[in-house]
Structure 1
Amino acid sequence: MINWNQIEETNENPKMLELYLDQAWQNAFCYALAVEEPEKEWQSAKLLMTIIAGSDSTLQAMKASVDIGSSGISFGHGEKQLTDYKFVSQFRMYSDKGKYESFKMTINSNRKAVAIVHDDLLGNGDYILSFEGDPAEDLRNLLGGGKFGLNILPEWKNIILDEFVRRGCIEELNFYFDPSLFPNGLSIYKLKFSEENAEQEADDIISDMMKKGMLKFPKAGTGASVESIEDLGTYMTKFMDDMVKKVSDRVTPIHNPIVDPVHPQISTYKRELFPVQAHVSTAIAKVLKKQKVALIQGEMSTGKSTMMTAIPDVLAAMSNKKGYFACRALVIE
């Protein structure tokens, strides 16, 4: 277990992060740090989230090193010297290559900072990152997302969080953060389901809570409206408006063609894409910035091959990169 308060934090002994890159050490002030602690003593911790502040060059160098995967990251504190701080390491950690998103921040009298967050804390894994002091709401959103797909009513959220904690299928992580930056609190929880059967285990717990009367619906129903329905098509036709409303209320698309523009790179092509093709290409490129796989489903002659040609080019432009970029595609007609 990491002792985050091994040294009391003061102006003379601030928390710091040190990183080795290109035969040089980079130091930054650290305002938050969460790691996945190793199972074995000889293993290193994995970086989950950090907030660091410093010069632009330092932040860029440290962000780049985290992005490419590094085992030379250390957390500790500084000892104030005449002109700078001497870094004293407490423990080392590593970063996963290509698994982090960065967010620029301004803290403490316009000091420049950057938050570096692992994908697992952004709704893509088993962690819940709560900035607003309402982890029950963040758990509700996670369970209602694509991985679990459970419709959790707002009035259930606190009951479910308490029950998950009681059953030992969720635990709060111990980590470091500067409380002055987060007046509403900052918390991280980790789900403790099995990797192979997480969705079913969560579903079973919610079902069991309903059977026991722990989760109550706002109004009772008889089920008469669905008794005569025998196939999915009829169900979809009858309840389509209700389903569309629920999805619209709960899901924010990564690209909304009604309000979001297509990427400007598409306007440079000699062969102009149709509006729908341009929006789909932009949307899929946005998806591929967050994950490795995406699916386009369309009938014959909708331009699947055309869009697949545009997507890697748009993705490269979004990343401000040059060179040859490609997507591995399987086109089935």
Structure 2
Amino acid sequence: MKKRTVTIVLTAASLSLLAACGRTQEEKSRGTSADAMSAAITNPDEVYHIDLKFSNVFQPTEWNYKASEKLAKEITEKTDGHVSVTYYGQNQLDCYGDSVTQAVNGENWIGLEEPSLFAEYVGDCAVLVGPMLYENTEEYNYIMDSEVVKEIREKLAKENIHVLDTHFSFGFRNLITNREITKPEDLNGVKMRATSSPLFVKTLEAMGAIAQPMSFTDCLAAISSGEVEGFEGSTSTLAGAGAPYELVKNVAETHHLIATRWLFMPEDVYQSIPEKYRKIVDECAEDCGKWEQTSCDADEANMISELKNKGVTWNDVDHDAFEAACAPVYDWIEEEYLADPELHRKLNEKLTAFRKR
């Protein structure tokens, strides 16, 4: 009997102790949760975190790839990981128009794409990078910093596309084949690789070529098989991955399009980031864009010299003839994208005034 009584007493004591311990742990848990909630309310920036995927098509040898890597690293480090950016180059994730769609749909996304791809949402974007418009990078930057482009960026924001920076440019695009092309007639019947941008396709066709849209990886195989005779692209692309310079040895200096990309993300995602981190994102975007632009411009002469040593030749062209051939492209932009019919004229007036300075 005594033994049973002792057992009962001990069990009761144990239960009492366990209950006390339970209350202590619950109180501690509540205290911890309360502290966390209090900290979050008092300093919400410290508990904020977002993971962003950053995608484009570029290869490790290209300036856009290098600038993209730099951007992802700097944003992640300078925000102490509160805005974490993971870069996926080489067409691993959505690129071109699909990348723009990711932004429109509000995904946690950053893209770097050719500005004419935004014309599906704001038609004037295609005019801003139309053929034979700019003579150098300074002219391009002048227009990008203008009120005209500011208004276009505001229109894009209403489509949920936030343009972070416009400086990710890497020279001008030329016609690259094994022919000496000096005038539009020299392109008649010549099959040329084009990007997926309708503007690029239309520009090549206006200059006389037969445009064949395909990825650049497929382009090299297509040149080898004779499916196409060349491509239009920048010096850095010719010198880059896959050694295109081994397949095509002549560059016609048309400078028909500026080689540029706009850095962008969803407007709603951008606005959801605390201001202190948004400011860092903005600064990193501009710094990396300008870093690419100045680095590529400074390296252009070296790349040309190296390519000439590998047997590539450059030839001058009749720019007036190519400009006249490309003029109808602006009529097509107005019709296709309902762009402002006065915008091309306004841009030319601004550039003429800028050149006189």
Fold match, TM over 0.5? Answer: no
Bigger radius of gyration among the two: 2
User: Would you tell me which structure has more helix in proportion to its own residues?
Assistant: 2
TM-score, structure 2 length as denominator?
0.22
- Greater RCO (CA < 8 Å, at least 6 residues apart): 2
